[in-house]
Amino acid sequence: MFRSYTKLPLSLQMVLGIGIAVAAIQAGTAAYEISAESLTLTDKAAKRGDAALDMLESVHTQAMLNRKEVAEDDPAIATLDGTMEQFSNSGGSVKLWLVMGPKVIDFQKAQGETEFEGPRDRVDEQAIAKLERLNSLEGERFRMTRPVILGQGSASNEKCAACHTAKMNIQPGEVVGVYSAEVDLAPELAAWRANAWKRVAIGAGALAVMIALVVLMLRVTAVNPLRKLARATQSLSEGNLDIDVGTNDRRDELGTMGRALEVFRDNLRRTRSLETETEHNRQRAEQHRRDVERRAEEEAAEKLQLATAGLASGLRRLAAGDLAFQIEEPFDASFEALRHDFNASVRELAGTMSAIQGAVGVIDDGSGTIAAGANELARRTESQAASLEQTSASLKEINATVHAANKRVADAREVAKKANQSALNSGKVVTEAEQAMHRIEESAQQISNIIGVIDEIAFQTNLLALNAGVEAARAGEAGKGFAVVAQEVRELAQRSANAAKEIKTLIQNSTAQVESGVKLVHGTGETLVEIGSLIQTINDHMDAIADFSQDQSNGLRDIAGAVETLDTATQQNARVSDDQSNEASRLAKEAAALRVMIERFRIEAGRTQMRRAA
Tell me the domains of the chain and their CATH numbers. Answer: 9-212 (no CATH), 389-598 (1.10.287.950)
Residue type, 127: A
Residues forming beta bridges with residue 100, ordered by sequence position: 177
Q: Which of 438, 334, 370, 328 is nearest to 586 (CA)?
A: 370
What pLDDT, on the 0 to 100 scale, is given for residue 176?
A: 78
Give the chain's residues under pLDDT 70.
1-19, 21-23, 25-39, 62-92, 153-157, 220, 222, 241, 244-249, 252, 254, 323, 357, 364, 367-368, 371, 374, 378, 388, 556, 600-614
- CB < 8 Å & 24+ apart, contacts of 160-165: 160/64, 160/65, 164/104
What is the pTM (predicted TM-score) of this model? Answer: 0.30
**Cα distance between residue 182 and residue 186, in whole Å:** 12
Query: Per residue in 365-386, is it b (16+ CB within 10 Å) or e — as a string?
Result: eebeebbeebeebbeebeeebe
- CA–CA dist 241, 267 (Å, integer): 10
DSSP string covering 284-304, please? HHHHHHHHHHHHHHHHHHHHH
CA end-to-end distance (rounded Å), the chain: 93
Of 138, 244, 239, nearest to 186 (Cα)?
138
Give pLDDT, residue 103: 82
pLDDT of residue 539: 75
Q: Look at residue 386 in the predicted model and tell me its pLDDT.
A: 74
Could you tell me which residues come within 8 angstroms of residue 135 by beta carbon, excluding any fewer than 6 positions away?
42, 46, 49, 142, 143, 144
